[in-house]
Amino acid sequence: MEEPNDKKPGEAQNPTPQDIADQELAELYKQMEKEAQGAAAVVASPIELPQVEAIPQAPADPKAKDMNLSMILDIPVDVHVELGQTQISIQDILRLGVGSIIELDRLAGSSADIVVNGKLVGQGDVVVINENFGVRISKLVDPQKRIESL
């Protein structure tokens, strides 16, 4: 329902903040329209740029390649050996205790996956060396496929 207007036509009314914002927005639109009309009158003409010469490439230096490779050889990477995996519910995890057994998706005697920085690089057999576990590599992923997976 509209409130009655106590002011007579011709008397000045105090503008509300909304009225002021609407007026400023209308002026901004008018200014943008004027600029757009002026932009249509701009004419672009082609220019000629100087020819860029190709940078001569030095012949491949085998020592430089060896040096680049030697820079990364000491970078540590994470190596994981995965015996298998499974998916269980949180309820089953909460029931686990000492002596509980989790069945994995691999058969006994199957090869374990060798994963480097999250990428499969090969498979191997789990071995015991001086009371520590180890893995004897039985398969490696093709070097080209290893590079492509990075």
Residue 47 has pLDDT above 60, yes or no: yes
- Between 88 and 67, the more confident residue is 88
Which residue, 78, 77, 81, is CA-closest to 133? 81
Using DSSP, state whether 34 is helix, strand or coil: helix
pTM of the model: 0.48
**What's the average model confidence in pLDDT over 44-66?**
67
**What's the average model confidence in pLDDT over 25-39?**
76
Q: In the sheet that 119-129 helps form, which strands lie side by side, from edge to edge? A: 79-82, 112-116, 119-129, 132-140
Beta carbons within 8 Å of 136's beta carbon, 6+ residues apart: 124, 125, 127
Above pLDDT 90, what percent of the chain?
Answer: 21
Beta carbons within 8 Å of 120's beta carbon, 6+ residues apart: 113, 114, 141, 149
For residue 42, name the pLDDT band (cuts at 50, 70, 90).
Answer: low
User: What distance in Å separates the CA atoms of residue 85 and residue 135, rounded to the nearest whole number?
Assistant: 17
Residue 87: the pLDDT is: 93
Residues 83-127: pLDDT tens digits? 888 999 999 999 999 999 998 888 888 889 999 888 889 999 988
Supply 29's token pair.
Answer: 């639109």
User: What distance in Å separates the CA atoms of residue 137 and residue 121, rounded to the nearest whole number?
Assistant: 10
Supply 44's token pair.
Answer: 């672009």
Residues 3-21: pLDDT tens digits? 555 555 555 567 788 888 8
User: What distance in Å separates the CA atoms of residue 112 and residue 107, rounded to the nearest whole number?
Assistant: 10
Quick one: CA dihedral 123, 126, 129, 130, positive or negative? positive
Q: What domains sit in the chain, N to C, each tagged with a CATH number? A: 76-149 (2.30.330.10)
